Amino acid sequence: MIATRKFEHTYNFAFIDERTKREIRRKILKAIAIPGYQVPYSSPEMPIARGWGTGGLHASLSIIGPDDVFKIIDQGSDASVNACNLRDFVRRMTSCRTTFDTAEATLIQTRHRKPEEILTERQIIVFQVPQPEPLRSVERYEFKTRIMHAEADYAKMWVALYESYVKFGAIMNGAGYPVRVNGRYIMTPSPIPRWDVPNLSMAPCLHVFSAGREKRLHCVPPFTRVEPLEFEDVKFRVEEFREIVCAASGGDRAFMDEIYESESTRKFVINDSDFLDKVRLGQRPPQRLFQNPV
């Protein structure tokens, strides 16, 4: 007979053991020192499936302390079921306070968005990254992409962008638009929409990007240049929501979700759930908006 005691288990603060946290911390510091470069890290298994935010959790749980206020969003929303599950996990493992209020959070984990509201110097944002290698679409082998990054040899990437332009009249990369960080490394900003890409550049907050399954993490420090790849005559553009207002708040100038209530009725709602709440209350927070070139 097995005593049930055998299966009892207590967990460390923030779940991950201290030795692994320390390793991840060392790697985060190096990632800050080499902006946009992908640092390999151990990436221990988590009780969350690979591809569901394990990398984000590694970074968040290595950073978090008892005084932090934690916010987590998925597709811009605090309400997304996976965000709910991860929030519950972080709360159980740290007893930290959690919030939906972007301004109140000290540590924000996100999948596929950077909040509309400008993040400040006292905030750290952790992005869940499915595929950290921006060159994967042009070179499938890691040992080759490593060399390309080392030599800043991005010719294949430029050719791919040019081909996209020739075929479609524009660079067709949607979310995860490739960027150059501090004039050196080409990096994927995780699949955030182009709308959010300009907000990575010269921002007051620290950005940590972590890909658990691929075991790589990279950073964009505060006040660091992040430039979307573009040609002199084919400029980077964000998604356009021309003449569109939010059906829930009447607000505009924000990334919108396209919602179908039936086959024929389409409406738009502001994607960032906390931003939407604030717009509805008439407390629209400060934003940094990008103007598409004419």
Partner 1 sequence: MIRETAYHEIFDSQRHFRTLLDAMARPGKIDRFAPVAITPPPPLTNAAACTALALLDSDSTFDAASLGPDAIRYVQVNTGARAVPIAEADFVFLDGGDVASAERIAAARAGIPTYPETGATIVLQVSRMSRSSGAGGLELTLSGPGIETTTHVVINGLQARNLESLARRNREFPLGVDAIVTADDGGIICLPRTTRVSWATV
Partner 2 sequence: MGYVAIKGGEDAIAQSIRLVEYYRVRGRTAPVSIGQIQGQFRLLLDKIMGEASLYAPEHAALVLKQNEGDVFESAFMLRAYRATLQRRYTAETLVTREMFIRRRLSSAFREIPGGQILGPTRDYSQRLLDGRLATETLGHIEDFLAQFEAAAPGRPTVPVTTLPKVIDLLQAQGLLREVDDDASRRVVDVTREAVKFPAPRSAALQMLARAETGGLMALAYSAQRGFGSTHATVGELRVGEVPVRVRDARGRIRVVGRIRLTEAEMISRLRVQRRDESPALSLGYGLCFGQNETKAIAMGILDRAMRSGGDAPCQSQEFVLYHTEGIESYGFTNHLKLPHYVTFQSSLSNLRQAIERKDRKRGQLGFGAAVVNTTSSPS
Footprint of partner 1 on this chain (CB under 8 A)?
12-13, 18-19, 21-23, 25-35, 37, 39-40, 63-66, 121, 124, 146-147, 149-151, 182, 184-185, 202, 206, 219, 221-225
Binding-site member from 21, 71, 180, 216 for partner 2 (CB under 8 A): 216
Nearest-approach distance from CB 260 to partner 2, in angstroms? 11
Q: Which residues of 223-244 are buried (b: 16+ CB within 10 A; e: fewer)?
A: ebebebbbeeeeebbbeebeee
Residue 224 binds which entry of partner 1, partner 2, none, CB below 5-8 Å type-dependent: partner 1
Of partner 1, partner 2, none, which one does residue 182 interact with (CB within 5 to 8 Å by kind)?
partner 1
- Contacting range for partner 2; rule: CB under 8 A; set: 2-10, 148-156, 221-229, 282-290: 2-10
Q: List own/partner pairs for 118-122 with CB under 8 A and 24 or more apart.
A: 118/199, 118/203, 118/204, 118/285, 118/286, 118/287, 118/288, 119/203, 119/204, 119/205, 120/204, 120/205, 121/204, 121/205, 121/222
* Binding of partner 2 by 154 (CB under 8 A): no
Site for partner 2 in 230-269 (CB under 8 A): 239-240, 255-258
Give the one entry of partner 2, partner 1, none that residue 184 binds, where binding means its C-beta sits below a cut-off of 5 to 8 angstroms depending on kind: partner 1
For partner 2, how many residues bind (rule: CB under 8 A)? 74
Give the span between the Cα atoms of 173 and 65, in whole angstroms.
37
Q: Which stretch binds partner 2 (CB under 8 A): 81-89, 118-126, 150-158, 225-233?
A: 81-89
Distance between CA atoms of residues 249 and 268, nearest Å: 10
Q: For residues 195 and 212, what is the distance between their CA atoms, to the nearest angstrom?
A: 25
Of residues 42 through 71, those in contact with partner 2 by CB under 8 A are: 42-47, 49-52, 54
Beta strands in 90-133 (DSSP E): 97-98, 107-111, 124-128
Residues 6 or more apart whose CB falls under 8 angstroms from that of 8 comprise none
Q: Smallest gap, in angstroms, from Cβ of residue 234 to partner 2? A: 12
Q: Which is nearer to partner 2, 12 or 183 (CB)?
A: 12
